[in-house]
């Protein structure tokens, strides 16, 4: 399907004015073209204003005070939790744990659930496309508990080979940890099918949803996964806040991850009793204002509509793939458009990825270069680094024309 055949229900021009940073001019006269959204997104005025409003008018610590300001902050903080619950289709508010980000969410599960349920000889199944944040915590768990990590392979198109994945599952499989969308390949994994296969052998499933929740409708109940982790800063929210969704019966059975502050019901000289969910996993002072900012980001995304966002990103991705094909001598990584999210990683023959990114920056175009926290994947691909362009609803087709012109210029520079 060509780009002209994809209907676009979204006009980014009507939204870009909400993002002050998109008005930036770089290097004197180059308008910013921000194509690094897989690393982090920009924030609209509505989110910025919500954060400022709390700090200026309604900020205090939550859950502990009996004064008006504390009540205000607590209400806003818990309203944000309810917004998250509705946004991802979770059954219960107390299944929503605020964390500093996806990384801590995965580490929480690996430490609390993993140390309790994984023993010598047990197996953890990961895929070759995982982010380091969904690799290292499991490697640490395997080392602590003398467990074994199994790697599910991907094919030449960057897609999970489901038949090989299924062969890895067995009676010793305790956890399957998989990304919903690869942050390098853009591969959209069949999460429901993966979960169903893991369920057949009694394994738990954690989904790294950092690259999927901001870009498409998410229904964790339909996925059926035991744990889902994602970050606020990749979906218009502030840094310093993320979400771990877990099935309530599992969270209730897990020991606390961190100790102190809000996670206790009572403390005695002889020991302590943890608080009920979700406080049990929110030790210390939680990310109050970041969580409220995340709630404002969810409001903004809901107004646009996740289905419209996904469709617009598909158009941008289709155009990006056309641009790269037109330039020539470019290797693009990842699956066909139909099974790809708004992420395109590539290399240009004879040009290092860092040089590509630096020359694009001179034209005001911001892309990522490096291994993108996926060293094992890049080893599998046979490259040390890639350049990555990643899109969001405020990006335009005109910006992709600028991207293409800048990329063609960079190629000419190195050809000389």
**What is the per-residue pLDDT across 34-78, written as a single tens digit (0 to 9) for each?**
999 999 999 999 999 999 999 999 999 999 788 999 999 999 999
SS3 of 299, please?
helix
SS3 of 150, please?
strand
Q: For 289-300, what is the mean pLDDT?
A: 98
**40 within a domain of the structure (yes/no):** no
Is 234:38 a contact under the CB 8 Å cutoff?
yes
Its pTM surpasses 0.75:
yes
Same domain, 236 and 351: no
CA 221/CA 202 separation, integer angstroms? 18
Q: What are phi and psi of 278, to 5 degrees?
A: -85, -5
Same domain, 79 and 204: yes
**Considering all CA atoms of the chain, what is the largest pairwise distance in Å, rounded to the nearest integer?**
74
pLDDT band at 261 (very low <50, low <70, confident <90, very high): confident
SS3 of 350, please?
coil
Is 266:273 a contact under the CB 8 Å cutoff?
yes
Return the pLDDT at 5. 62
Is 393:15 a contact under the CB 8 Å cutoff?
yes
Q: Which of 162, 304, 373, 383 is catalytic?
A: 373
Return the pLDDT at 1. 54
Beta-bridge partner residues of 229: 208, 244
Same domain, 314 and 299: no
CA 233/CA 210 separation, integer angstroms? 9
At 172-194, the pLDDT tens digits run 999 999 999 999 999 999 999 99
Q: Does position 200 have pLDDT exceeding 60, yes or no? A: yes
**167 within a domain of the structure (yes/no):** yes
Same domain, 154 and 169: yes
Q: Work out how many domains the chain is built from and give that number.
A: 2
Give the other-Cβ count within 10 Å of 416's Cβ. 5
**36 within a domain of the structure (yes/no):** no
| Residue 373 is among the residues annotated as catalytic for this protein | yes
Return the pLDDT at 178. 99
CA 337/CA 376 separation, integer angstroms? 24
Domain boundary among 286, 303, 320: 303
Same domain, 92 and 173: yes
Return the pLDDT at 118. 98
Same domain, 312 and 294: no
Same domain, 369 and 239: no
Same domain, 241 and 105: yes
What's the CATH code of the domain at 370? 3.90.1150.10
What's the CATH code of the domain at 252? 3.40.640.10
Is 390:37 a contact under the CB 8 Å cutoff?
yes
What tokens were used for 106? 């995965």
Give the domain range for residue 382: 3-31+305-415
Domain boundary among 252, 282, 303: 303
What tokens were used for 72? 């205000």
Is 404:367 a contact under the CB 8 Å cutoff?
no
Return the pLDDT at 416. 61
pLDDT band at 415 (very low <50, low <70, confident <90, very high): confident
At 130-188, the pLDDT tens digits run 999 999 999 999 999 999 999 999 999 999 999 999 999 999 999 999 999 999 999 99
What tokens were used for 138? 């499991």
DSSP for residue 58:
I
pLDDT band at 335 (very low <50, low <70, confident <90, very high): very high
């Amino acid at each position: 399907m060509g780009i002209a055949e994809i209907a676009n229900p979204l006009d980014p021009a009507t939204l870009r004015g909400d993002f002050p940073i998109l008005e930036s001019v770089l290097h004197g006269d180059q308008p910013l073209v921000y194509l690094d959204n897989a690393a982090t997104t920009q924030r609209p005025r509505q989110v910025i204003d919500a954060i400022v409003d709390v700090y200026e008018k309604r900020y205090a610590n939550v859950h502990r005070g009996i004064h008006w300001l504390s009540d205000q902050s607590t209400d806003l903080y818990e309203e944000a939790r309810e917004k998250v619950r509705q946004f991802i289709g979770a059954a219960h508010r107390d299944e929503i744990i605020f964390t500093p980000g996806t990384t801590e969410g995965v580490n929480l599960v690996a430490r609390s659930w993993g140390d309790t349920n994984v023993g010598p000889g047990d197996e953890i199944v990961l895929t070759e496309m995982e982010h380091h944040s969904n690799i290292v915590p499991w490697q640490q768990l395997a080392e602590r508990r003398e467990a074994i990590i199994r790697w599910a392979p991907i094919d030449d198109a960057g897609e999970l080979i489901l038949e090989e994945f299924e062969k890895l599952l067995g009676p010793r499989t305790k956890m399957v940890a998989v990304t919903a969308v690869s942050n390098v390949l853009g591969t959209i994994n069949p999460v429901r099918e993966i979960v169903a296969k893991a369920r057949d052998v009694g394994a738990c499933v954690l989904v790294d949803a950092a690259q999927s929740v901001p870009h498409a409708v998410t229904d964790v109940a339909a996925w059926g996964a035991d744990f889902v982790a994602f970050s606020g800063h990749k979906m218009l929210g502030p840094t310093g806040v993320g979400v771990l969704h877990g099935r309530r019966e599992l969270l209730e059975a897990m020991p606390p991850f961190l100790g102190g502050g809000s996670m206790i019901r009572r403390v005695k000289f002889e020991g302590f009793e943890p608080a009920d969910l979700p406080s049990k996993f929110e030790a210390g002072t939680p990310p109050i204002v970041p969580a409220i900012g995340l709630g404002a980001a969810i409001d903004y995304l809901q107004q646009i509509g996740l289905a419209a966002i996904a469709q617009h990103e598909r158009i941008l991705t289709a155009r990006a793939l056309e641009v790269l094909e037109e330039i020539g001598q470019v290797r693009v990584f990842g699956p066909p458009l139909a099974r790809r999210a708004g992420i395109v990683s590539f290399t240009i023959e004879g040009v290092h990825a860092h040089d590509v990114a630096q020359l694009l920056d001179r034209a005001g175009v911001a892309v990522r270069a490096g291994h993108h926290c996926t060293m094992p994947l890049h080893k599998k691909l046979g490259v040390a680094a890639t350049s990555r362009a990643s899109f969001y609803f405020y990006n335009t087709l005109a910006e992709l024309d600028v991207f293409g012109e800048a990329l063609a210029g960079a190629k000419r520079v190195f050809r000389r």
